Amino acid sequence: MKFSEILKYFLIWQLAIIIITYLSIQILPLRQTFKGGEDQSTPLNPQPFLKNPLLYSRANFDGIHYISIARRGYGYGQQAFFPLYPKLLSLLNSIFKNFTVTGILISSISFLFGVYLFSKLISLDHPGPVRKWTLIALFIFPVSFFFTSVYTEGLFFFLVIGSFYSARRSRWWLAGIFGFLAAYTRLAGIFFLPALIAEWWLQKKSFKALIPLILIPLGLLLYMSFLQRTTGDSLAFIHVQKLFGQGRSDKIILLYQVFWRYLKMIFTVNRADPLFLTILLEFITGLTFGIISIYSLFKQRLSYSVFNLLSFIIPTLTGTFTSLPRYVLVCFPAFIILGTWLHQTSKLNRLVYFSISCLGFILFLALFSRGYWVS
């Protein structure tokens, strides 16, 4: 697939995000907590969000933390956020002079090139129609808008795909560099190590090819070293999770316990509360990607299956599916499975899937843009 064609998909998707956000501003009441721009007020612009909600809504919730870290360094409880993204924010803001604009550009450009590499990665194993339906499934996923928000999703997706594509082409040093940067961006980056070792085994390369993969854990170790120096706790990124509430635990909770907890919530939470929709999305995501992860073990390359399973299962060990719909955005093997199914299934099934996914996309983007927690 040509870059120009991917750019067309991307621009249509961005136009849809802008239109939906604009309409949500007219329709939905604003929830006054964790609004983007809260940390960027000036005497001339004391309430950035209210002046330009179309822009600053993309920096809601976690975006506030990333911008705060970029401006002033780590504050209390912010060690859960890995450093590469805020470092890029701080560096590039000297050019663009607005942290939200800078964050959107970093995320958007990263994701655009990530999608281009993803199309090339898919083409290594699948025909054109599978590639097309996989990208459509990715673009219309209910929380795909996070890819171009002031979040790490766009950057991390680019690094994930870059590493796997490099490994598939036997460019191991490049795969290791991408993996290092990924592990310096999110904890899930460390999952590259077992996944790429599996890829090395599949390709039956020499032990020399394993040397670049040593770079991958160095990304995490570099951040842990920083935490040890500044907080005295090299695992602070784990221990601060409970500060965010949302049912997170710093102890391991098994998957079946999380499903049981969500079943109880579905039948007890007020269905008129927008939180119910988020809980339902989290539960469906957990169920769907759990099934896909098992299916992947039998139908996909071992390296893909390992990365997909770890990326899905590890976040659930905190005892909740909170943010899981966002975390699984980088489970690219799962989207390839969805794309394959969409290619092979009936037009009716495609229509049903497309309708449900697009409806979810519209609904959750509208809620997120007005300050409601989504993922």
pLDDT tens for each residue of 100-116: 999 999 999 999 999 99
Q: What is the pLDDT averaged over residues 33-62?
A: 76
- CA-wise closest residue to 119 among 9, 229, 225: 9
Neighbours of 226 (CB within 10 A): 15
Predicted local distance difference test score (pLDDT) of residue 244 = 66
Find the helix packing angle between 332-344 and 302-316, rounded to 10°.
110
The answer on pLDDT for 7 being more than 80 is yes
User: pLDDT band at residue 38, thresholds of 50, 70 and 90?
Assistant: low
Least confident of 161-170, 200-209, 247-256: 247-256
In the chain, the percentage of residues whose pLDDT exceeds 70 is 95
Least confident of 48-57, 124-133, 322-331: 48-57
Predicted local distance difference test score (pLDDT) of residue 59 = 92
- CA-wise closest residue to 284 among 142, 75, 123, 76: 142
DSSP state of 317: T
Predicted local distance difference test score (pLDDT) of residue 31 = 85
Predicted local distance difference test score (pLDDT) of residue 170 = 94
The answer on pLDDT for 41 being more than 90 is no
Neighbours of 324 (CB within 10 A): 20
Predicted local distance difference test score (pLDDT) of residue 225 = 97
The answer on pLDDT for 23 being more than 80 is yes
Burial (Cβ within 10 Å: 0-12, 13-18, ≥19) of residue 247: middle
CA distances from 245 to 234, 242, 248, 250, 317 (A): 21, 5, 6, 11, 15
For 94-117, give the DSSP string: HHHS-HHHHHHHHHHHHHHHHHHH
Neighbours of 182 (CB within 10 A): 30
Q: Which residue has the tokens 């940390």?
A: 39
User: pLDDT band at residue 35, thresholds of 50, 70 and 90?
Assistant: confident
Measured distance CA(96)–CA(334) in Å, rounded: 36
Predicted local distance difference test score (pLDDT) of residue 162 = 98
The answer on pLDDT for 91 being more than 70 is yes
The predicted model scores a pTM of 0.95
Backbone angles phi, psi at 42, to 5 degrees: -135, 165
Least confident of 125-129, 133-137, 162-166: 125-129
Predicted local distance difference test score (pLDDT) of residue 4 = 93
Measured distance CA(350)–CA(179) in Å, rounded: 35
Query: Cα 322 to chain center, whole Å?
Result: 13
Measured distance CA(323)–CA(219) in Å, rounded: 23
Q: What residue segments make up the domains of the chain, in order of their start? A: 244-344
Measured distance CA(196)–CA(314) in Å, rounded: 18
The answer on pLDDT for 375 being more than 80 is yes
The answer on pLDDT for 130 being more than 80 is yes
